[in-house]
Chains A and B, each alone.
Chain A
């Protein structure tokens, strides 16, 4: 099968740019990356259709000389799907910006907590490891400190002897608690009612938890 070199090169460049953008940490750039990637892959379908022929209308030409229409039907479907999903991800990025003031792809907070706990147990808990040095966590810790709440890793003896032991283990923040803190983290030009709505959405229960900890 002969293919068009120009199409191959274009698809290659699009996909390369797409991959580069997807590796960024900002959701907006990742969206752009996926749009480029999607277009690059769509070009692959057009390549797969084979060499150009006449338009595939019945009775206009010998079927042997017609372009294969099936890949184009697939590309159309893929374009529509990409459109819908892109719209969703843009909404997601906007919501992330509303809540966090940025649209960076966050790290797994639970993972980090497990790591912190294992460090605390082996006596290195106070050291700032690579994970704690990451932006989001540092910000969050600073926020907590400014509110007079101690960050969990600064508590005295934050852990029991062993997780399976019978003594009570003071718990780190759960995701629900962190969600509660988020609206204050948002951009300052946020409408006041918005943040009121946010904290109103949560039941009273996590607040009690916070009182316990404080």
Chain B
């Protein structure tokens, strides 16, 4: 029990920190100290949870000792633990970056006093979403992180941000309503919202009912994860926010959606009939996202479109559902959180340095800022899947899994994902050529503006680059970890027996075999 209490900390700590930073809103330095300490503590807690999960298996915390059927439970298995560790690393780095930014200058783009409390609330929402053991708690955590994201997106209330946030808020509200209606339907069908108990009871439902419920929840999650055709809001709304905010949104918020889809497609609806639909959506996301990226001329928008595109890779893995596919997906999620955040932070550095992210006005950065060039180049190559980086390893895993599965849909997806990798390289090369390689266009004050970028901003971005390289160096142990995570996710019974006991786990009708098909239990 005492170990399980750890699970409450990733949610409680940032909420407490948010309260403190709100009280300290007139003391910028203290605010920074409190929020940095909080996030360091969360990172430590996440690592501890990761260790305990590896040793003891799935951890369960019943809030106020309510029975899991009625009360709130927080559950951490390997998948959750990995998500928590990666997200706390990224949120910490982004916080350091934004603190350095707000020290260095005082402009409209600078985070204001409300930034720290809101940011910590966002962290609490993300952690809670990863830990939530029931659907309604998942809904609440989505609302926590969305409410925080609305505020972060409209910081300063400038015209472009209000314009961008309007679309974002409406789309998010719609997804929340659909999710809520989905929960009501699920409750009407089986009378519970606890994920473990849902796993047992949903297995007994007729296929048509199951598919209806699954579709409702899938649409809600897919809007959050920006899966085509529900992705149009993302490239419009993310780029206008301050760079650190975009970085943490791009890294984490979409991945929360993917995490929810993983749970949905394995724990609640194992190897469902929607597999082909998932693969089709994945393929469309991959192609349309990357074509969008190629057409754009603004650095942040190119990155936003690659984000939409690369969500397809993760959905591809979920659609294939073999053990290797899920393991690679989890690895890819960890890789993509880190790399996409790093790239947006690097875009922020470029904006600082050159005063714009418009590719037509950039140039000569490789000469003017060689360190920045390296900081951008490494994650950019990583994103486009150049060996030996983690992006390459994740993609190899996914492609291998697709070939192993061997049906027509997954073969098509294998081809599409390889083509998308190439096109990503093209989009990235375009950025590289225009912003770094070519001569600076007339009138661009790259030399003059350069000196005021604080070292800590470089430091935070550089640290994330190092983390992404660590994902590559430690790929062996990490893949082993994600493989174990995939095994327990596909088996379903470890999760259910941890929450409800072995009796309930015995009632599960199916598990997912290593080849991605549904296997009758016993």
Contact = CB atoms under 8 A, between A and B. Distances in A.
B146 to A, nearest CB: 8
Interface string A18-36: 0000100001001000100
Contacts, number: 138
A203 interface: yes
Given A70-B70, A84-B147, A108-B236, A203 B166 contact: no
Interface in A153-201: 163-164, 166, 168-171, 174-176, 178-179, 182-183, 201
B180 interface: yes
A77 B140 CA distance: 8
Contacts of A203: 107-108
Nearest to A3: B188
B27 interface: no
Interface in B344-396: 355-356, 358, 360-361
B407 interface: no
A148 interface: no
B177 A1 contact: no
A88 B147 contact: yes
Contact of B177 (A41, A45, A212): A41
B159 A182 contact: yes
A117 B359 CA distance: 15
A41 B158 contact: no
Contact of A114 (B154, B295, B441): B295
A210 to B, nearest CB: 12
B443 A212 contact: yes
Of the four ranges (under 10, 10 to 19, 20 to 34, 35 or more), the interface on chain A belongs to 35 or more
B203 interface: no
Nearest to A68: B191
A149 interface: no
Contact of B430 (A164, A183, A212): A164
B102 interface: no
Contacts of B185: 44, 48
B136 interface: yes
A159 to B, nearest CB: 10
A109 B163 CA distance: 10
B184 A89 contact: no
Contacts of B235: 108, 110
Interface of B: 70, 107-108, 136, 140, 143, 146-147, 150-151, 154, 156-160, 162-167, 169-170, 173-174, 176-177, 180-181, 183-185, 187-188, 191, 193, 232, 235-236, 239-240, 295-298, 301, 355-356, 358, 360-361, 430, 433-434, 438, 441-443
